[in-house]
A and B are shown apart, each in its own frame.
Chain A
């Protein structure tokens, strides 16, 4: 349990006045408040620290105790024992800003000096707060998000059943209301922010709702035309290859791409790029025939 210099946390001197403490706290609270810094863990930790510092230093009784035993808090055990027998000190100043923090809103150092957050009169005085929002990641394969399906997640020991909507994007975040931490003092529960991390282990590349695929054609099919069968997410598709198809030619298969998020009946397109493979290891006969073709072409 490390000693925490609350004066340093607030960036003030040891003889700062109450007004200076208040000003410093407000300035830092505006900088690190969770509402101003969504999904920022560092800001959340800083906010917790400045709240704790303010809670101690803005209360004259707490500040006196901190100033007396702060640096040598280990030697203040006897003082602590005596204090524990008495009623907890009244917390006159109710600096809230503890949205999202409950029992672990205080460092071990704070708990050792001033007792826990629960069971004190401060608990009764505190207004209702929304519970902490949770952030979680759900790792899925690209194929998994082609169709809507049910998933059961375990977040902080709680099982949550949710429907993963088809067409969800990699990196997309959805909010599940009320599935965060429990609210404090009867406040509403926090929300769960679920980020989808989609691993693409298919031969398709996805951009929005469109899928891209490269198909290799042999030289003869590209020159003479023919057929090719490809696999898509919803079955096989037969392609008609036009004669004299050039390398890197693109064809668009309308509606064969990815489903549109929250509009599953609509689909993006599948864009096929033909890559023409040159024949290798030619036999003498093939070389002779190519030479023949060359002669015809240069006539």
Chain B
């Protein structure tokens, strides 16, 4: 993993006004992945969108972390199903045009 894609967890905490312990809990629950380099915690920038979503669900909808885990899993499943529907629709076109 290239290091320039990593953002210090502390920087994100300041930016999003969250506690570092919150980030650590998210990591423990597997909701985000923390990289530790020279005893400092980093988050890959690809996870920022996910982190923002978690913060919004937590702060705005008061969903607890277990609930967020369930929501994210269901959203992923929904996304997979949507992709499958698209793929099946494309396959169906193969026969519809005959």
Measuring CB to CB, which residues of chain A are less than 8 angstroms from any residue of chain B?
26, 29-30, 33, 35-36, 38, 95-97, 99, 127, 130, 169-172, 191, 200, 205-208, 212
B11 contacts the other chain (Cβ, under 8 Å)?
no
CA distance A229 to B91 in the complex (A): 27
Docked-complex contact A36 and B71, CB < 8 angstroms: yes
Between B60, B63, B91, the greatest number of chain A beta carbons within 10 A of the residue's beta carbon is seen for B60
Majority secondary structure, A binding face: loop
A98 shortest CB reach to chain B, Å: 9
Nearest 10 pairs of A and B residues by beta carbon: A171-B86, A97-B60, A205-B94, A30-B61, A35-B53, A170-B90, A96-B60, A35-B56, A33-B61, A207-B91
Q: State the CA gap A36–B72 with chains docked (Å).
A: 9
- Find chain B residues with CB under 8 A from A191 CB: 49
Count how many pairs of residues, one from A and one from B, have CB atoms less than 8 Å apart in the complex. 49
Q: Determine how close the nearest CB of chain B comes to the CB of A214; give it in whole angstroms.
A: 9
Q: A26-B61, A30-B63, A96-B59 are in contact. Are A206 and B71 (CB under 8 A)?
A: no
Partner of A36, one of B49, B59, B75, B94: B75
Q: Are B61 and A212 in contact (CB under 8 A)?
A: no
Residues of B38-64 at the interface with A, using a CB-CB cut-off of 8 Å, are: 49, 52-53, 56-57, 59-63
Smallest beta-carbon distance A97→chain B, Å: 4
B: contact size bracket: 20 to 34
Q: Which residues of B contact A171 (CB under 8 A)?
A: 86-87, 89-90
Whether A33 contacts B60 by the Cβ 8 Å rule is yes
Per the bound structure, the CA–CA distance linking A91 and B47 in Å amounts to 33
B94 touches A172 (CB 8 A): no
Closest to A26 in B: B62
Interface contacts beyond A36-B57, A36-B71: sample of 11 additional A-B pairs, CB < 8 Å, sorted by A: A29-B60, A29-B61, A33-B56, A33-B57, A96-B60, A127-B17, A130-B52, A191-B49, A205-B93, A205-B97, A208-B87
